[in-house]
Amino acid sequence: MVRVGVEEFSVIPIVHGTFALAHEGEIVLVDPIGRTAHDGQLFSRAIDYGTLTPTLILVTDEHTDHFDADAIVRLLEDGARVVTPYGLSASVPTSLGLANGEATTVGDISVEAVPMYNLDGVYHARGRGNGYVITWDGVRIYVAGDTACTPEMRALEDIDIAFLPMNPPYTMTPVEAAECARAFGPDVLYPYHYRGQEPTDLRYAVQGTAIDVRVRDWY
C-alpha cells in the first residue's frame, strides 16, 4: 500500500512490465499480456489476473511483453477503457490512441502521454510508445514504460509515485534509473521491468535522497 497524503494506492505486481494500481474500488491495469514468454524467454510465474476488473487499461508499447490484443479484448468484457500509443489504437476495439503530449480523462483519472524512447533509437524510437503521467485524486503517478533516462523524464515535476524500468540494453541500468530519479525526485519509487537486474541496487543508488524505493516481486 502507498499512502500519499490521505490517499491510498495498492500496487499489484503481475509480471515483468505488467501491474495494477488499485484505489477506492477502481483499478488501472498497465500492459496486460496473456503470454508466459517473450522473445523465447520464459517468465518465472504464470500470468493470472484473478478477479481484477480494470476501470482503465494503459498500453505503453507495441513489443509483445507490453502489448497483447487478445488479452486486452478478454479484459474488455467488464467495460474497461483502453488507452494506447497512437499507432496501436486500431488494434484494439474502442481504444483511444494518444500521441506524446496528448491527454485524456477517464472518470476521475487524467492521463497524459509522455515520450518513451531510447536515446539512440535502437529498440524504442521516439514517438512510437508512451510513458504516462496519471493524476488520480490529486496524486501524480508516472509509469515510464520502455525508456532511457530522457530529458523529458528529468523534467517531470511533482511526481508522487514512479515506476522505472531497469532492463538494459532495452531500458536503463539501476545507476541510470537512479540518476533520472534524482533529477525529478518522486516521493515513492518502484523498480519494475527489471529482468536480469537486482532491484535493490536502485535503493542503494539513491541513498542520501528522500526517495522511498519499494521493491516488489515481478518475477
Residue 3 — very low, low, confident or very high, per pLDDT cuts 50/70/90?
A: low
pLDDT of 43 over the 60 cut: yes
Share of the chain above pLDDT 90, in %: 83
Residue 5 pLDDT more than 70? no
Q: What is the pLDDT of residues 207-219, one digit of tens each?
A: 999 999 999 999 9
What's the pLDDT at 77?
A: 75
φ, ψ of residue 99 to 5 degrees: the values are -85, 160
Query: What is the per-residue pLDDT for 44?
Result: 79
- Average pLDDT, integer, range 62-88: 91
Mean of the per-residue pLDDT values for the chain? 93
Q: How confident is the model at residue 78 (pLDDT cuts 50, 70, 90)?
A: confident
Distance CA 29, CA 111 (A): 13
Q: Which long-range contacts (CB under 8 A, 24 or more apart) does 42-51 make?
A: 43/15, 43/16, 43/219, 44/219, 45/15, 45/219, 47/14, 47/15, 47/18, 48/14, 49/14, 49/75
Question: What average pLDDT does the segment 160-166 reach?
Answer: 97
The domain covering 2-213 belongs, at the CATH homologous superfamily level, to: Ribonuclease Z/Hydroxyacylglutathione hydrolase-like (3.60.15.10)
In sequence order, the 6+-apart residues with CB closer than 8 A to the CB of 203 are 213, 215
Residue % of the chain over a pLDDT of 70: 97
* Residues near 40 by beta carbon (within 8 Å), at least 6 away in sequence: none
Cross-strand bridge partners of residue 98? 85
Q: What is the pLDDT of residues 65-77, one digit of tens each?
A: 999 999 999 888 7
